[in-house]
Structure 1
Amino acid sequence: MSTVATPPVFDPAAFKTTTRAQWQAAAEAWHRWGPFLGRWLGAATDTMFELAHIGPGSRVLDVAAGAGEQSIAAARRVGAAGHVLATDIAPALLERATADARAAGLTNLEVRELDGEALDTLPAASFDAVISRVGLIYFPDQQRALAGMRRALRPGGRVSAVVYSTPERNAFFSIPVKIIRERAGLPPPLPGQPGPFSLGGEGVLEAAFAKAGLREIEVRKVPSPVRLPSAAECVRFERESFGALHQMMIGLGEEERARTWEAIEDALRGFETGDGFEGPCEMLVGAGTVF
């Protein structure tokens, strides 16, 4: 008697556990790359602040804040009369944000270890804006996260998020993902599995915001090329900071992992010019209003 194999099912709890461990391990490197992140994502971050209507005196919630480079920029923007609460699932990242805020003399930035899908622990209607830079894409339940953001906002408040657009427009990232997937023999992502391009398709981010009950939705495309001295430096950045790539390689032996990184560097070398490396990257910045 034959049996039908049960198809694999995405496990969000296990995903979060692994994600937290990855970011705990990568916190030092992600923080060290902070100045580069600020340059690379500067235009997208400024657009996020603009669409969120963040200004002097604003109360801002930063979800999946990481090491807080954009949280500190928001704290400077809102000034002494404003306030920023930076949240993340990995306390090691928040420790870096706290230290940097202290070094910058900022007293209007607070950090809190908090799952982006558990924002209902925050007081309702207590923020003017909620931001998330390259964080929403990795939540297993994006609607739950958006519902929490909406609850935290006062009427008229704005949610704004930065996400990657499509794989075709983000070759600096999608090429490594493709190479690793092929070499590790990985199947396509499971239904419901979050990932870097989960909100990048045409109209997908708008639809997610609309489903969450947001209105006055706007999405802008922001060219964000990854400019570094060489393809090797881009690989170093991804190798040190992109935990998702390491997770994909978990089934490979040490030698095969090394060969895989070599293959990635070879492929990315196609984006080198006489002026250095320029990897294709396009961000979407979306925003919507709570009524």
Structure 2
Amino acid sequence: MSTQMVFNPQTFKDTTRAQWDQAAQAWDSWGPFLGDWLGPVTERMLDLAGVTKGSRVLDVAAGAGQQTLLAATRVGPDGHVLATDISPAILGYAQSACQNAGLTNVSTREIDGEMLTDLPAGDFDSVISRVGLIYFPDQQKALAGMKHALKPGGRIGVAVYSSAAANEFFSIPVGIIRRRAGLAPPLLGQPGPFSLGADGVLAETLTRAGFTDVRVEKITAPLNLPSAAECVRFERESFGALHQMMTALSVTERNDTWLEIEKALSQFESRDGFVGPCEMLVGGGTNIAPAKH
């Protein structure tokens, strides 16, 4: 029997912060893999956001900062990147990564992605968010804050997962956990990995937020790993969303769930290793300048 629960945005945020604080070190340790996996997606996101030499960039839900590094390298010493996240622990890794790379044009700030209106208005040329917008309970509030932070004519660039069917490396574990934990289907508007993945949804979401010249592209981004077991290790160590779904399960039940997930994902193994199906959407838009009177 499914357990229907009322979605509580604040509880979700509190749990998200705690999960990412806990997963910060692991997510950082997977940085080289993330760079290989999402590198082309990230570069295209930066393109659509108009990130170039000298740009001031706001990185929302920056995580351990792999895309922050790419943005900071692209803008050069005359530009600047502000990396923000709800998790102070993971931001620490982003700051360390930039320092270790010799980048002095990055700063960090702990901030809820739905509270960006606390930032100065019109202070940034570009706003980016890689796999962050999908997890905001109020996506329009988050986008309004991003728009607030952008200069007139500034650009936004976001990367999200497309449909569940095109991302079985993730949707299969989600389905198994949902069944084992007795979770009801997500409520309309509830945040989650595929909340912006249906055809036309990301473009409509950006347009409704007031962005113009909206463009959305699909990019195939398969996960190439040695085995299904290694994919499970990656998700088990790094995907806070999956752990959030398993909070009601006992330790034994969670372990059994991960074993079932590994067995299900083994269908994507071959003699050449594991290739997990993944498709990303990269979207961009312009913050239209206010009309002159």
Map 1:174-213 → 2, pairs under 5 A: 174-213=171-210
Measure how far apart 1:191 and its partner are: 2.9
Q: Which residue type is aligned with residue 149 of structure 1?
A: M
Partner of 2:257: 260
Measure how far apart 1:8 and its partner are: 3.7
Query: Secondary structure of the residue that 1:277 maps to in structure 2?
Result: strand
Partner of 1:271: 268
Measure how far apart 1:233 and its partner are: 0.2
Partner of 1:81: 78
Does the aligned pair in 2 maintain the 1:10–1:192 contact within 8 Å?
Answer: no
2:6 aligned residue (9, 15, 36): 9
Partner of 2:242: 245
Measure how far apart 1:248 and its partner are: 1.1
TM-score, length of structure 1 as denominator length:
0.97
CA distance in 2, matches of 1:87, 1:216: 26
1:95 aligned residue (70, 92, 101): 92
Does residue 1:165 correspond to 2:168, yes or no? no
Map 1:117-128 → 2, pairs under 5 A: 117-128=114-125
CA distance in 2, matches of 1:254, 1:151: 44
Larger mean Cα displacement after TM superposition, 50-59 or 246-255:
246-255
CA distance in 1, matches of 2:122, 2:245: 39
Percent identity of the aligned residues? 64
CA distance in 1, matches of 2:7, 2:251: 26
TM-score, length of structure 2 as denominator length:
0.96
Partner of 1:280: 277
Measure how far apart 1:229 and its partner are: 0.5
Partner of 1:104: 101
Structure 1 portions without partners, runs of 5+: 1-6
> 1:215-261: per-residue Cα shift (whole Å, max 9, x none)?
00000001000010100000000000011111111111222211111
**CA-atom RMSD in angstroms:** 0.8
Partner of 1:132: 129
Partner of 2:15: 18
Does the aligned pair in 2 maintain the 1:139–1:194 contact within 8 Å?
Answer: yes
CA distance in 1, matches of 2:5, 2:67: 37
Measure how far apart 1:274 and its partner are: 1.1
Query: Secondary structure of the residue that 1:168 maps to in structure 2?
Result: coil
Structure 2 portions without partners, runs of 5+: 289-293
Partner of 2:28: 31
CA distance in 2, matches of 1:189, 1:216: 31
Partner of 1:142: 139
Query: Secondary structure of the residue that 1:55 maps to in structure 2?
Result: coil
Does the aligned pair in 2 maintain the 1:67–1:94 contact within 8 Å?
Answer: yes
Measure how far apart 1:205 and its partner are: 0.3
Does the aligned pair in 1 maintain the 2:166–2:279 contact within 8 Å?
Answer: yes
Measure how far apart 1:290 and its partner are: 0.6
Size of the aligned set, in residue pairs, is 285
Measure how far apart 1:80 and its partner are: 0.5
Structure 1 residue ranges (4+ consecutive) displaced by more than 6 angstroms after TM superposition: none
